[in-house]
Structure 1
Amino acid sequence: MSDAPLVLRDDADGVCTLTLNRPEKRNAVNRDLFRQLRDHVRAIEADDAVGLVVVTGAGAHFCAGHDLTSPPHADALGWLRQEMLTLERLTKLRQPVIAKVRGSCYTGGLEFALAADFIVCGESARFADTHGKWGLVPGWGLSQRLPRRVGQAKALEMMLTCRPYTGAEAAAMGLANHCVPDAGLDAKVAEIAALILGNSRHSNAENKRLVYETDGMALSAGLGHELMRNAGFDPAMRKKGEPIAAARKGG
């Protein structure tokens, strides 16, 4: 049995890459992997050096979903809740989170990818929700995140047909933001990361917070929330923003 970590962390130039590391199982998720992921997310929450997080899979696949060969937990519902909360903590990181997907992104793997702020995939990517093939229902957020990403009708189509969708189809329906040839996937994610990291981390975090906090609000309520919960200028860039602030005050 290998002692290799089930989630690898690599940090470079403000980008933290978390890699699901069970390539022999197409990175299928078990409880030990979730524990390690939770530890990494907690560490990132306290790490000011991280400006962006990329989640990906080792080898040719992102994640084939839950490892159905894992023995059941004595408190199945309690553990399912812990897994769901781990993915919610990933979503709520102040840093932007990108899922970099190639190969299989099935069921629980799709729920993993949906916990990211957006998905960038290679042409080899295949997205599917196969809960129905196993007599299961989502427990890691798919029934909530997928309709918000692609709309109710398309989400129901994916959930009820259980068929795989190509990377190109995923991009066309808005599930993935970009689909590129696999050979260019790393470069595309690096390009997007550089654009994001070139901006204020304060603004990145606050923009993300406002979007998630107002999800589901009526427009009028969301506008009020944006105004009343506005965090203002990045202190590190205050001088750059002073002319704008003065103009707003004068208006």
Structure 2
Amino acid sequence: MAEGDSQQRPTRYRTLEIARSDDGFATVALNRPDKLNTLSNELRREFVEALAALEADPGVRVLVLTGAGRAFSAGMDLDEWGATGELAAGAYDNDPVRAIRAFSGPVIGAINGLAMTGGLEIALSCDLLVASTQARFADTHAHVGLLPGWGGSVRMARLIGLSRAKELALTGRFLGAEEALEWGLVNHVVEPEALMPKAEEIARQMAAAVPETLKAYKRLLDEGAALGMNEALALERRLSIENNAQADRASIDARVAAMVARRKKSSR
């Protein structure tokens, strides 16, 4: 896993590297580099377990998700695919995308290399993506006779538009980082050595927000995006009343002062 400037207190897994930061975020790296971080049964089980533990940790408000080695993830581990396709049903056990969506804080994907099929579905489930110039994205499901089952078709079409989603899915072609940025698939493209620092910078900025409001705003954006305009506005009004009724003036003033102090410090 690429090293950041504030990673510490590692937790051991066989297929993951996890490090918590004192700045309110944790980094999770898929760690099967010799297998291009393919999503074995063991990795998926550990991933679901790890994200549940991180969700329960009040010191972790934001996640950064990346891959060890030269790939983010090349998708399912076909070495575990039986002759009669029995993995097809098992693929929905220990669903990594569901685990990501169940994390209530922001999840930042730091895409270091290849993100293909199931690996692309994991990337698409993140709240935003930072990509290395070495990142490549591909949906080759149709070319190996499979269909996505972790929400890839839905999220891809919503993120980049139906026409571009069809092009990517039905041709199976590989999308480079700069084109992914142009298409709106990723938020930032940086050189490989800047990938983790950039992702951690964003994580640190997000983790500085009021914890419960951070979660509530993510929920508001996610749920509102799936609603019509009137329903989305009603949701915003309801959640705004619930949240803002708990905010007293002294707390707001203290948070404004802390925010100004952070900005002054960062501008030096």
Q: TM-score, normalised by structure 2?
A: 0.83
Q: Could you tell me which residue of structure 2 aligns to residue 11 of structure 1?
A: 20
- 2:55 touches 2:103 (CA, 8 Å); kept in 1? yes
**Aligned residue type for 2:73:** C
Instruction: Find runs of 4+ consecutive structure 1 residues off by over 6 angstroms.
Output: none
1: CA distance, partners of 2:249 / 2:44: 40
Equivalent residues of 1:129, 1:163 under 8 A apart: yes
Query: C-alpha distance in 1, partners of 2:238/2:203?
Result: 30
Contact 2:113–2:135 (Cα < 8 Å) also in 1: yes
Q: Is the 8 A contact 2:74 2:118 kept in 1?
A: yes
Q: Distance in 2 between matches of 1:234 and 1:20?
A: 41
1:20 to 23, 30, 35: 30
Residue in 2 that maps onto 1:173: 183
Q: 1:82 maps to what in 2? A: 93
Q: Is the 8 A contact 2:81 2:87 kept in 1?
A: no
Closer, same or farther: CA 194–234 of 1 in aligned 2, 3 Å: farther
CA displacement 1:97-155 (0-9 Å, x = unmatched): 00101111111110111111111000000000011120111011101111111111111
Equivalent residue of 1:168, what SS? Answer: helix
Structure 2 residue corresponding to 1:116, chosen from 110, 126, 149: 126
Residue in 2 that maps onto 1:241: 252
Gaps in structure 1 of 5+ consecutive residues: 243-251
Judge conservation of contact 2:140–2:169 (CA < 8 Å) in 1: yes
Judge conservation of contact 2:25–2:204 (CA < 8 Å) in 1: no
2:158 is matched by which residue type in structure 1?
R
Q: Structure 2: how far apart are the matches of 1:120 and 1:234?
A: 35
Aligned partner of residue 64 in structure 2, secondary structure: strand
1:249 maps to none
Q: Does 1:213 align with 2:213?
A: no
* Superposition TM-score, scaled by structure 1 size: 0.88
The aligned counterpart of 2:80 is 70
- Equivalenced residue count is 240
Contact 1:80–1:140 under 8 Å retained in 2: no
Matched letter for residue 16 of structure 2: V
The 1-side partners of 2:199 and 2:13 are apart by: 26
| Aligned with 1:146 (options 156, 160, 181) | 156
199-208 vs 29-38, which deviates more? 199-208
| Identity among equivalent pairs (%) | 34
Contact between 1:7 and 1:36, CA under 8 Å: does it hold in 2? Answer: yes
Equivalent position amino acid for 2:100 in 1: L
State the alpha-carbon separation in 1 of the partners of residues 198 and 245 from structure 2.
28
Partner of 1:224: 234
Is the deviation greater in 177-186 or in 191-200? 191-200
Question: Are residue 196 (structure 1) and residue 209 (structure 2) matched?
Answer: no
Q: CA RMSD in A?
A: 2.3
